[in-house]
Amino acid sequence: MSIFDEVSESRWPLIKGIIDEVLAEEWMNPFTAEMIRYQIESGGKRIRPALVLGVHRAFGGEDGRALPFAAAVELIHNASLVHDDIQDQDEMRRGRRAAWMEYSTNQAINLGDILFTLAFEVFMRSALSDRTKLEIVKLTMRAVGELVNGQVRELIYRKTFQVTPEDYFGMVGGKTGSLFRLASKGACVLTENGSDLYARDLSRLGSCLGNMFQMRDDIIDIFGLKEGRAPGCDIMEGKVSILTSISLARLDERERAGLVGMLSVPREKKDAELVRSVTDVYRKTGAFREAYGLYETEKEKMFSIPVMKSNERLGAFVKEIVDHISVPLRKLSGEF
């Protein structure tokens, strides 16, 4: 059984049980708890908690020590999704109404805020030494800051469209890579077994996984292969993707202005024809082929990291992750 199956079938109920214990306490407002459950139970791939458990096991750790941290990482991820949906005006999340549509924008802002807080509340109840807890909290605080910085950059790029592929990776390193780095490094810290020796390598691992995951999402979004989303949602939202940054770098001034003009059309005025026109630009510039090439390059870089070679269990587990997230890309291989 893969670790993703384990997280879904046996470990996720344990992680959710840790969260439910806090939601049942007197200080928690029942309506707040309802919103939290609505968001958490909406599903998802659970890749981040799986990453925590897989890395922790690879360094000799037992699941029981890692479950509260896995819960914390998933809560932070969901907090970012709630705020993301508000900023993007996305009405659906994982096939159901986004939290801001279900409970109002104001309450969804509160929901995102308390999900961040709940992550620390859950983690601090774990049976770890104070020193280890402090180290994890420091990592988590920095990761949240990097995540928000990445989101700030994304919103700036949506206005200016002055973004190169290098800028894109800087943005993604924050908004996506931050939690992959946190999960990888934090899982090793939990073992209290010489984590300083591997911190740099695990940070690189998290960055590569974050880059791959975001590029993969950017590509499959165009073809409607993301859960509960129509084809081209990123185009509808005016998001800057890896495809956008590649195309902007390859177009001449007039063509670039045309692409920016289409992406800048207000969401309510965009339609399927405009999505097709932008997609045609991506095809013309070879953005799909280059993006897939960059995906493969990140994979090669990741598997060349020293700790990936020295720790066979880690290498095997990360290969499992890569195989899992690459499935929709393999389905699209004829499109590139």
The reply to whether 100 and 213 lie within a common domain is no
Q: Residue 20: which CATH number?
A: 1.10.600.10
Residue 92: beta bridge partners? 97
The reply to whether 98 and 232 lie within a common domain is no
Residue closest to 251 by CA, chosen among 278, 213, 220, 216: 278
Residue closest to 243 by CA, chosen among 302, 294, 208: 294
Model confidence at 44, pLDDT cuts 50, 70, 90, reads: confident
Q: What percent of the chain has pLDDT over 90?
A: 88
The reply to whether 114 and 238 lie within a common domain is no
The reply to whether 36 and 93 lie within a common domain is yes
8 has pLDDT over 80: no
Residue 242 covered by a domain: yes
Model confidence at 10, pLDDT cuts 50, 70, 90, reads: confident
Condensed to tens digits (0 to 9), the pLDDT of residues 245-267 reads 999 999 999 999 999 999 999 99
Which pLDDT value is given to residue 228?
Answer: 67
Residue 153 covered by a domain: no
Residue 336 covered by a domain: no
109 has pLDDT over 90: yes
| CA distance to 13, 77, 163, per residue, from 102 (Å) | 25, 19, 34
Condensed to tens digits (0 to 9), the pLDDT of residues 60-108 reads 999 999 999 999 999 999 999 999 999 998 898 888 999 999 999 999 9
The reply to whether 119 and 242 lie within a common domain is no
Model confidence at 296, pLDDT cuts 50, 70, 90, reads: very high
Segment 164-177 shows an average pLDDT of 98
Segment 273-286 shows an average pLDDT of 97
The reply to whether 306 and 165 lie within a common domain is yes
The reply to whether 36 and 87 lie within a common domain is yes
165 has pLDDT over 90: yes
Higher per-residue pLDDT: 302 or 94: 302
Model confidence at 336, pLDDT cuts 50, 70, 90, reads: confident
Express the helix, strand and coil content of the chain in percent, nearest 5 each.
80, 0, 20
The reply to whether 122 and 168 lie within a common domain is no
Condensed to tens digits (0 to 9), the pLDDT of residues 130-153 reads 999 999 999 999 999 999 999 999
The reply to whether 109 and 167 lie within a common domain is no
Residue 93 covered by a domain: yes
The rounded mean pLDDT for the chain is 94
User: What pTM does this model have?
Assistant: 0.96
The dihedral built from the CA positions of residue 106, 111, 112 and 117, taken in this order, carries a sign that is positive
9 has pLDDT over 90: no
Least confident stretch, 2-11, 149-158, 280-289, 318-327: 2-11
Provide the number of structural domains found in the chain. 2
Residue 107 covered by a domain: yes
Query: Contact 189/139 with Cβ under 8 angstroms?
Result: yes
Condensed to tens digits (0 to 9), the pLDDT of residues 194-239 reads 667 899 999 999 999 999 999 999 999 999 998 768 899 999 999 9
The reply to whether 112 and 228 lie within a common domain is no
The whole domain housing 39 covers: 1-127
